[in-house]
Structure formats: C-alpha cells, structure tokens
Amino acid sequence: MNMDVQEYLPFLVPLLLLQLVLMLTALVMIIRQEHFKYLNKVVWIIIVLVLNIIGPILYFVLERR
C-alpha cells in the first residue's frame, strides 16, 4: 500500500494543494467578513472545513455577491 501512495503522489499533491487554496481563501474571507447574509461566522467556518470543494463554493456563491 505504501508503494501505491508513492505512485499516486503526482495526483494527490496538486489535488490537496488546490483544495487547500480554496479552503484557505474561503476561511480568510469568512474571518474578515463582518456581516453575513445567511448563517454566521462559526457555521460558515465549519461548513468550509467539513465539506471540501463544495463548502467553499457554497460560501462564494451565497455570501460573496
């Protein structure tokens, strides 16, 4: 199994990096934002942390207009 992970690194590293960029950007924006249209700061942070890709996308669509 260890062997397999090595083999898949060319996929996993960029995938993780891209998801991280998405998540971190959303988190920074949430922390800086004062007023939310839906939900509140804590809930948005949880959503972004738990649902990867979909969480940040939801945040950008619903809160950033």
Partner 1 sequence: MNQMLPLFKKEFIESWRNFKFAAILIVFAIIGILSPFTALILPDILGMVMDDSGITVEIPESTTLDSYMQFFSNMNQMGLVIFVIVFGSILTHEFSRNTLVNLVTKGLKRTNVIVVKALFLMLVWTIGYALSALVAYMYTIYYWDEPVDHLVLAFAMTWVYGLFIISLILLASTLFTNSFIAVLFSVVAAVIVMLMAGIHPDAAAYLPQYLIGNNVGLLAGEIDPEDVLGSMAITAVLSLVFILLAIIRFKKVPMN
- Asked if residue 6 binds partner 1 (CB under 8 A), the reply is no
User: Which residue, 43, 44, 27, 36, is CA-closest to 65?
Assistant: 36
Select the span of 2-10, 30-38, 41-49 touching partner 1 (CB under 8 A).
2-10
**What is the spatial distance between Cα 48 and Cα 32, in angstroms, rounded to a whole number?**
15
Radius of gyration of the chain (CA): 15
The CB-of-9 to partner 1 minimum distance in angstroms stands at 11
Q: Which two tokens stand for residue 12?
A: 């996993």
Chain residues binding partner 1 by CB under 8 A are 4, 8, 10-11, 14-15, 18-19, 21-22, 25-26, 29, 53, 56-57, 60-61, 64-65
